[in-house]
């Protein structure tokens, strides 16, 4: 199903709600030509809300061809009014705008959208103009004080619409209305599940890779681990995972990846020690976008070297200088025939697997014509002279969907439920230039925060808790009866479903107090701990 984005803040949320109904969805911009939309062979289309009035100069318009193509269409808010205008109905400046929680009256409880619901519903409105006359052939099925035509439907043409936002939780029956459209209006089967995703992606990866060899950029996080497990199921020994220890990891992470993931999957793993390489490349760089691009470039250089090392003659070092191999087998041999076999070594490595997710694509300016908020190291941070063809089997999934796919693949829960950690690591949690000393300070503070949150049993209540070092900021403090001039540490605990939106987590005060006390006692360079209570939007989860 396609979600046509008219500039709504909720377009991604609509896509999520559709997926929660076990129907696959993608977001496309309203500027996409109708022919291109129909070329995607959509089973149904949703028209999103938007910030404009349909009468505003330059407001997005709706090509009536989309409504006459025989594809079921559901308009929401602005999309509803755009349908009315395109089909010859009336949208008027009534002076009776509605914003926020509003009571709507359902006029037909047997209608497709409202079947099995109640007559009086609380809905979330956000409109200044109102529909005063429905297009010919449309049956009006709901109204409100400010919208005489608040919903309509035409089962014959399979066209439906509501003036409100059914995708937000403030609309009591919103998900039921959406599911009624999908199942009864559009006739879709609710069969998009984690098992189907695995089946489809395994087949797609096999078709892409064929008999070629492939590397997976493994970070040990949820995304790359699930991507690795999925590709391993598809091509087995043709896969070799490469873990780059770039020196920007948190305390104990390199050892955890090398031991836990390999033990759980038996995958062939090459560990590359590139700490000096990355630190030198980042020397003196403070700009966060530049950091991300440098890290993306150096990652690729490491993978390219690992690929060259893997096809060296048998008498050469298996993984090149500064690298070592690991497997899940106790005797130290490589798992499977994969990268260690003579036959496989005759074939060059053509493909690189990345754990790129849909939010990474969207926030990097891809997916639906959205603004570039910040480059993800996998999207927009890659060098132009990339020598690999990319495989990104999770590219169209949200984080919670990736977790379900991971469980379906048998990835251990300790990995599946691990809190997200950015590929650029601590480099983007240091506001300022990255140095070995600053990394050491941040590592120590982060370890304390993680220990205390785990001890308090909050790991599953918090989406993630970035710990940020304000390296270029100092504040006056007093420690040991003396004046100090130390760095502040920022705690950024957030709750989210998919990282597209987030709210700060209300961590108990006693837990925050223990974290603050321990950091200022145990990390000499820090004399102040502060709490970030900004939601997303307006702030992003990571500071850089």
Q: Give the active site residue among 30, 77, 153, 376.
A: 77
Residue 241, φ and ψ in degrees, nearest 5? -90, 140
The tokens describing 99, both together, are 């914003």
Query: Is 93 a catalytic site residue?
Result: no
Residue 142 vs residues 56, 114, 167, 425: alpha-carbon distances, Å:
26, 9, 17, 51
Catalytic residue among 30, 127, 153, 167: 167
167 a catalytic residue: yes
In 3-state terms the chain splits into helix, strand, coil percentages (rounded to 5) of 35, 25, 45
Kindly state the tokens that stand for 67: 């409504």
Residues 6 or more apart whose Cβ sits within 8 Å of residue 62: 30, 47, 79, 82, 83, 85, 86
Q: Is 142 left (phi over 0), alpha (psi -120 to 50) or beta?
A: beta
| Helix 275-282 × helix 288-310 angle, to 10° | 150
Q: What are phi and psi of 438, to 5 degrees?
A: -65, -35
165, 246, 377, 487: the catalytic one is 165
* Backbone angle region of 375, left / alpha / beta, with phi > 0 → left and psi within -120 to 50 → alpha: beta
For the question of residue 246 being annotated catalytic, the response is no
DSSP-derived secondary structure for 220-283: SSHHHHHHHHHHHHHHGGGEEEEEEE-S-PPTTHHHHIIIIIHHHH---EEEEE-HHHHHHHHT
Q: Is 58 left (phi over 0), alpha (psi -120 to 50) or beta?
A: left
Element (H, E) at 518: helix 509-522
**Phi and psi, residue 350, nearest 5°:** -105, -25
User: CA 382 → CA 184, 237, 275, 412, 469, distances in Å?
Assistant: 44, 26, 19, 30, 26
For residue 308, count other CB atoms closer than 10 A to its CB.
Answer: 13
Residue 191, classified by CB atoms within 10 Å of its CB into exposed (0-12), middle (13-18) or buried (19+), is: exposed
For tokens 């409109």, the residue is 127
Q: Which positions ≥6 away from 324 have C-beta within 8 Å?
A: 270, 271
The C-alpha torsion from 404 through 407 and 412 to 414, rounded to 10°, is 30
In DSSP terms, 473 is beta-bridged to none
CA 251 → CA 135, 255, 450, 457, 531, distances in Å? Answer: 63, 9, 10, 20, 22
First to last CA, the chain: 34
| Residues labelled as active-site residues | 77, 165, 167
């Amino acid at each position: 199903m396609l979600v046509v984005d008219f500039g709504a803040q909720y377009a991604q949320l609509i896509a999520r709600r559709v997926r929660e109904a076990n129907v696959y969805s993608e977001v496309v911009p309203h500027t996409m030509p109708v022919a291109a939309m129909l070329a995607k062979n959509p089973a149904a289309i949703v028209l999103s809300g938007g910030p404009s009035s349909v009468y505003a100069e330059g407001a997005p318009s709706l090509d009536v061809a989309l409504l006459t193509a025989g594809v079921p269409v559901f308009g929401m808010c602005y999309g509803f009014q755009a349908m009315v205008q395109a089909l010859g109905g009336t949208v008027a400046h009534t002076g009776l705008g509605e914003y926020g929680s509003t009571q709507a009256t359902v006029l037909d409880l047997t209608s497709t959208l409202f079947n099995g619901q109640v007559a009086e519903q609380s809905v979330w409105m956000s409109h200044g103009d109102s529909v005063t006359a429905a297009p010919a052939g449309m049956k009006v099925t709901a109204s409100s004080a400010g919208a005489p035509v608040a919903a309509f439907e035409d089962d014959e043409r399979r066209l439906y619409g509501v003036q409100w936002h059914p995708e937000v939780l403030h609309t009591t029956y919103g998900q039921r209305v959406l599911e009624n459209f999908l199942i009864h209006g559009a006739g879709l089967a609710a069969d998009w599940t984690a098992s189907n995703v695995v089946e489809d992606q395994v087949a797609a990866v096999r078709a892409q890779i064929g008999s070629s060899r492939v590397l997976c950029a493994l970070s040990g996080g949820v995304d790359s681990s699930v991507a690795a497990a999925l590709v391993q199921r598809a091509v087995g020994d043709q896969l070799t995972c490469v873990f780059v220890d770039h020196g920007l990891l948190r305390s104990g992470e390199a050892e955890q990846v090398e031991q836990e993931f390999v033990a759980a999957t038996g995958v062939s793993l090459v560990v590359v020690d590139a700490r000096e390489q990355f630190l030198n490349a980042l020397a003196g760089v403070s700009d966060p976008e530049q950091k991300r691009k440098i890290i993306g470039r150096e990652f690729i250089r490491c993978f390219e070297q690992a690929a060259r090392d893997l096809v060296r003659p048998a008498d050469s070092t298996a993984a090149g200088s500064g690298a070592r191999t690991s497997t899940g087998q106790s005797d130290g041999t490589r798992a499977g025939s994969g990268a260690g076999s003579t036959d496989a070594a005759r074939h060059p490595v053509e493909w690189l697997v990345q754990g790129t997710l849909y939010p990474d694509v969207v926030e990097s300016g891809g997916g639906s014509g959205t603004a570039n908020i910040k480059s993800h190291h996998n999207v927009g941070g890659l060098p132009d002279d990339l020598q690999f063809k990319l495989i990104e089997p999770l590219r169209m999934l949200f984080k919670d969907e990736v977790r379900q796919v991971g469980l379906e693949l048998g990835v251990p829960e300790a990995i599946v439920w691990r809190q997200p950690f950015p590929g650029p690591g601590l480099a983007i949690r240091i506001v300022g230039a990255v140095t070995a000393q600053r990394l050491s300070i941040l590592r120590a503070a982060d370890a304390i925060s993680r220990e205390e949150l785990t001890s308090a049993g909050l790991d599953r209540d918090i989406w993630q808790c970035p710990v940020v070092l304000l390296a270029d900021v100092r504040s006056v403090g007093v420690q040991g009866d003396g004046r100090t001039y130390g760095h502040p540490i920022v705690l950024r605990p957030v709750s989210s479903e998919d990282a597209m939106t987030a709210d700060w987590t209300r961590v108990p005060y006693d837990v925050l107090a223990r974290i603050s006390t321990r950091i200022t006692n145990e990390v000499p360079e820090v004399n102040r701990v502060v709490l970030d209570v900004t939601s997303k939007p307006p702030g992003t989860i990571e500071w850089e």
